[in-house]
Amino acid sequence: MRYRTPDQEHLSREQLLAAEVVEHNEEYAGRHHFPFGLTSMRMQKDEVLRINDHAYKQGAYMRGYRKRRLFELLDLKSLDGQRVLDAGCGNGQHAVFFAMFGAFASGFDLSDVGIETAREMAIANNVQGLCEFQVGNASEMPYPDDHFDVIVLNAVLHHMLKYPKIREEAFRVLRPGGRLFITEGLRENPIYRVLRGAILRVKGGAPDQGDVDLGLDDLISFAEGFEEVHREHFCLFEGIKAGIARPYANPLAIRIVLFLATRVDNVVLMMLPGLSRYCSEVVMTMRKPHPQ
């Protein structure tokens, strides 16, 4: 399966990486400098959980429920003393948050600006002794074999999958019995596709050229070799939030629409579970098997 867009075919891997470094440095120097949309480096656990919830709740993030479900599946309190890798960590917000629950948290990213921000964030939250950040990429993870108890790929696989050896590297650095978690948006939802295309046309933009338009088949392929693979799908009709919801503090009218869409989703997916493949959001968990 081809993961590069047509205008990327002539680019080498090094050129692709360099272009993404520039893009991500600009991103983490701007609106993603602070964690979870907050106004300072300091985090409070309850505030982070409040932001990461259903989009129909006041002040919740547009894709907050997906991340909230990730936190629930991780069982944050159980991370105490565990080695956790936040792959493609960006500004380090998730790794620092995990360290606040006692995890030994590592993170890598292409962006040196993001890594510097992550180190500042760890200091600001008094967990610098539990955090380790470095510049790196997922094709050559800078860690020994069988090192981590938990690996999190939070909304980064669509960036990484066009590069080689992503799955193999994640498998290599995860210890036998360790768990891997993925959150992503999927292309199968027709409402999401129509609204996303309409917004891009109105804004005069174009689809992200550095991203893979992930489908369910990509996730199934990634999970090969793992065991206890489990997927939870969200946002069937609630896929409209990609078109009408602002990232935070949604107006009441929009939140009412999203609330109703969520309730419809729950009923329809309970009655017709096969429709889950058309949801726009997914959280997937898997475990590395022990040697036979």
Distances (CA, A) of 182 to 7, 86, 125, 219: 28, 11, 25, 9
pLDDT-derived band of residue 91, with 50, 70 and 90 as boundaries?
very high
User: Model pTM?
Assistant: 0.89
Burial of 277 (C-beta count, 10 Å sphere; 0-12/13-18/19+)? middle
Question: Percent of the chain having pLDDT more than 70?
Answer: 85
Tokens 């949309």 map to which residue? 37
| Type of residue found at 283 | V
Question: Which residues are bridge partners to 232 per DSSP?
Answer: 283
- Asked whether residue 256 carries a pLDDT value surpassing 80, the answer given is yes
pLDDT at residue 199 in the model = 44
Q: What is the pLDDT of residues 59-72, one digit of tens each?
A: 888 788 999 999 99
What single DSSP character describes residue 171? H
Q: What is the pLDDT of residues 163-213, one digit of tens each?
A: 889 999 999 999 999 999 999 988 777 766 666 554 444 333 333 445 777
What is the C-alpha separation between 19 and 199, in angstroms, rounded?
24
Average pLDDT, the chain: 86
Ordered structural domains, the chain, with CATH: 6-187+211-235+281-287 (3.40.50.150)
Contacts (Cβ under 8 Å, ≥6 apart) of 23:
210
Q: What is the pLDDT of residues 9-56, one digit of tens each?
A: 666 777 777 878 888 888 888 767 899 988 899 999 999 999 999 888
Poorest-confidence range of 19-23, 89-93, 168-172, 239-243?
Answer: 239-243
